[in-house]
Amino acid sequence: HRNFQGYTTRANLDLLGVGLSAISLFPELYTQNSRSLKTYQEVTKQGQLAVDRGLEVKDPMVILRRHIIQELMCHFAVDFSPLAVDGPRVFPKEWALCGDLEAEGLLDRHSNSITVTERGRWLIRVIAAVFDPDIQEKASGSRVI
């Protein structure tokens, strides 16, 4: 199955990265293959995965944010109701930032969902970044668009 930058329209799949530096994604784990061709070849010839490093993800909020970003990137929309989440209440800062993007015509906010407009699809990475706290922390004080 093909994916782009770790995003796929197929939900709940384990993604096994194949090749140098490839990234694999499992429900609570990210792994990255070796960046060394020699190491990669030696390990795979032994019938093993050439994983160089990994990151375990247990925080439910991180998993939820990852799901929201995936929904936005793959489907240009996210509905919080099936997630049993009140989006505006759980993510007040992000909901307010989405208000700014809505004013720019990039998305539409509904009572508990977000839909990206045709115009917003061109800036989907900017929109999805609203729910990435690492990116928001780096961008504090600056306007993205």
Residue 1 has pLDDT above 50, yes or no: no
| pLDDT value for 92 | 97
Instruction: Provide the phi-psi class of 143: left if phi over 0, else alpha when psi is between -120 and 50, else beta.
Output: beta
All structural domains of the chain, each given as residue ranges with its CATH number in brackets, are 1-58 (no CATH), 60-139 (1.10.10.920)
Mean pLDDT of the region 55-71: 91
Give the model confidence (pLDDT) of 6-37 as tens digits: 555 566 678 888 999 998 888 888 899 999 99
C-alpha span between 89 and 33 (Å, rounded): 38
Contact 15, 6 (CB under 8 A): yes
| Ordered DSSP codes for the chain | ---BTTB-SSTT--B---STT-EEEETTEEEEE-S-HHHHHHHHHTT---EEEEEE---HHHHHHHHHHHHHHHHSEEESGGGT--HHHH-HHHHHHHHHHHHTTSEEE-SSEEEE-HHHHTTHHHHHHTT-HHHHHHHTTS---
Give the model confidence (pLDDT) of 74-131 as tens digits: 899 999 999 999 999 999 999 999 999 999 999 999 999 999 999 999 999 999 999 9
Residue 68 has pLDDT above 50, yes or no: yes
Compute how many other C-beta atoms are within 10 angstroms of the C-beta atom of residue 132.
17
Predicted TM-score (pTM) of this structure: 0.72
Averaged confidence pLDDT in the chain: 88
